[in-house]
Structure 1
Amino acid sequence: MVSLDRTRPFTVRQALAAGVTPASLKNPRHYRRLFRGVYVGAEANVDLQTRARAALLLHPSGAVASHTTAAALQRIPVPIDADVHVTVLKESHRRRRPGLHSHLRTQARGRVVDGVPCSWGAQLFTELAQNLQLVDLVIAGDAMVRIERVAPSVLVPATGPGLGRARRAAALVRSGVESPMETRVRLLLIWAGFPEPMINLALRHSAGTYRPDLCWPDIRLAVEYDGQHHRTDLDQWESDIRRREWFQSQGWTILTLISRDVFRQQPETIHRVHEAWKACGGAPFALQAHWQVPFGLAAVA
């Protein structure tokens, strides 16, 4: 009789071979069904990695976790997706289960991430391009470039589904971006007509280096995003105060944005940055409305 690791997904066949009875397998106090035909012990922690392993058990060798599942497993920020995505090489390899999406790709490249084979690189980026909105796709691309330490051009293959959107998004991906909110703020500003800002420019001072999220050094204007931890962490708050004092002493203007500025008050935020731009002596330009559709304002209206 074979042993059964209850903390990892297993098939019905594996359970029966280990001596588990069908009645026990159906008892929720003992086992939990992840997909039809795949179970795990009731005490096991069921996270995305566990669910991806379970999905792959249903598919023949060569299948990989893909799309948003592969992205999340590789810590690439993507919108939450309740389904598990798997890509296979043949139509006959696809499996249909609630909460499971099987995709077909004639050539699938994978690498193992924490024991789970995942699509990656250009293949993953074009997979994401099939479903993500443009802003979310650029956010994912910025993160991939940072994690993989590659140029944005590497994200786009020669052929494949989602190629058009992948190319458009890759043209907006930049190196050196450190957070999804930096991407959102940058896209909001450039689509509003601002010249493209520098990203995390290193400014040296006596105690080290400051890196404003986005800035135009020629007019000494910086735009930064502060999350909740900037307000709740006293050490971070004190550091922010010292940092802003240094920038002010050097003749810089710093605008600090918070969540509602980016998600709920985009017109007011654009106007606020534009006023600062003019006050700092920036070259005149006309504000644009190209940001409205990708940021969802047109859909709301």
Structure 2
Amino acid sequence: MARRPLPHSLTVGPFRAAEAAEAGISRRRLRADDVGHPHHGLYLPYAEDADLRSRCETFAQLLGPDRWFSHLTAARIWGIPLPTRWSASEPLHVIAIREAAPTRRPNVVGWETRRTDIDRTVLGLIPLIAPAEVWCQLAVPGATGTDAETGRKRNLSLPRLVAAADFLLTGPYVRRARLPLCTREDLQSALRCNRGARGTKALTIALELARAGAHSPKETALRLGLMACGLPEPDVQVPVMTASGLRHADLGYPDARVVLEYQGDHHRSDRKQWLDDLHRVQLMQDAGYHVIQVGAHDLVPDCSDLAARVRRALAGQYFRLESR
């Protein structure tokens, strides 16, 4: 059954339970996911199609001083790759800085820190913890939510922390170019400032494994998987000079002229992308490179079969190059 739309008087800003009752809106209707509940007796209207950014912009109007979106919420706003998708029922994570009391409100996970030097910024209308600090927060239990069945507080695993760092160092596409969200020095500085906090050991290892240039979490998983199988670490974004100009392979061993290309589902479902991929692979093969195409199935349960293919390719290419 379609839910009853809110009257216009309740869609222009925060309203109280008494105002909703006067307008004929039931308590049950106020529990729908298009209505926020930041304080006892106070409600916020969300647009029917409100995304996380819109909700944060609306909720930010009610945040007091020294309170900033953090942890899971900030990670989503920054675009950090996470194992779960956002849903309207997901609580907002807010951190209180200095002497401010942690935020305790419905559908809000409140955090607190005594660090006055924690890096923060305002993105549009949204007060946010800065990317490098958010990366450190993601290692803390509870940072990515709580398992509904077991009650276990979740955080990012080591491979996920590496993928998150890779993303921050590489950055999202902005006008056909990658714009890094922070530097390795930013991550190192944030890690030093958080020394002694839970998750520091995993963060230290993750930072050592992080590389700028990885374009997706799957590419990160592929790189880590090959290393776990005893192969040398492959380079990321390997330059390949072809007859049609410079191309870049996802991963590879340039000295042996062996490269790997990860083909995600969008490569298969987008016809233009599929044809472009075929052309790229052909160009690299014509340039004398052994191209190994990789899919999601090659990463499950591990990369052992794929690693064997890579070893054979490396041996064959080294033999071919030495025989010239």
Q: TM-score range by the shorter chain?
A: 0.7 to 0.9
Does the CA contact (< 8 Å) of 2:162 and 2:206 recur in 1? yes
Q: Which residue of 1 aligns with 2:120?
A: 110
Q: Which residue of 2 aligns with 1:12?
A: 16
Q: What secondary structure does 1:177 align onto? A: coil
For structure 1, which runs of at least 5 residues remain unmatched after alignment? Answer: 283-301
TM-score for both structures, normalised by structure 1 = 0.79
Report the Cα distance in structure 2 between the residues aligned to 1:205 and 1:267, rounded to whole angstroms.
Answer: 30
Q: What secondary structure does 2:193 align onto? A: coil
Is the counterpart of residue 133 in structure 1 residue 157 in structure 2?
yes
Is the counterpart of residue 33 in structure 1 residue 57 in structure 2?
no
TM-score for both structures, normalised by structure 2 = 0.74
Q: What secondary structure does 2:249 align onto? A: coil
Q: Which residue of 2 aligns with 1:159?
A: 193
Does the CA contact (< 8 Å) of 1:145 and 1:174 recur in 2? yes
Does the CA contact (< 8 Å) of 1:11 and 1:57 recur in 2? no
Does the CA contact (< 8 Å) of 1:76 and 1:140 recur in 2? yes
One-letter amino acid matched to 1:159: C
One-letter amino acid matched to 1:65: F
Report the Cα distance in structure 2 between the residues aligned to 1:30 and 1:139, rounded to whole angstroms.
Answer: 36
Task: Out of 144-153 and 131-140, give the one that drifted further.
Answer: 144-153
Is the counterpart of residue 100 in structure 1 residue 108 in structure 2?
yes
Q: What secondary structure does 2:209 align onto? A: coil
Task: Out of 148-157 and 210-219, give the one that drifted further.
Answer: 148-157
Is the counterpart of residue 243 in structure 1 residue 243 in structure 2?
no
Once the two structures are aligned, what percentage of the paired residues are identical?
26
Q: Which residue of 2 aligns with 1:204?
A: 241
One-letter amino acid matched to 1:138: V
Shift of the 211–255 alpha-carbon distance from structure 1 to 2, 3 Å rule, reads same
Alpha-carbon distance, 1:191 to partner: 2.2
Shift of the 143–43 alpha-carbon distance from structure 1 to 2, 3 Å rule, reads closer
Q: Write the mapping of 1:1-301 to structure 2, written as runs, cut at 5 A.
A: 6=11, 10=14, 12=16, 21=22, 23-24=24-25, 26=27, 28=29, 32-35=34-37, 37=39, 38-41=42-45, 43-53=47-57, 56=60, 59-80=63-84, 82-90=90-98, 93-97=101-105, 99-106=107-114, 107=116, 108-130=118-140, 131-147=155-171, 148=180, 150-156=182-188, 157=190, 158-160=192-194, 161=197, 162-264=199-301, 266-281=303-318
Report the Cα distance in structure 1 between the residues aligned to 2:255 and 2:62, rounded to whole angstroms.
Answer: 57
Shift of the 25–271 alpha-carbon distance from structure 1 to 2, 3 Å rule, reads same
Alpha-carbon distance, 1:12 to partner: 3.1
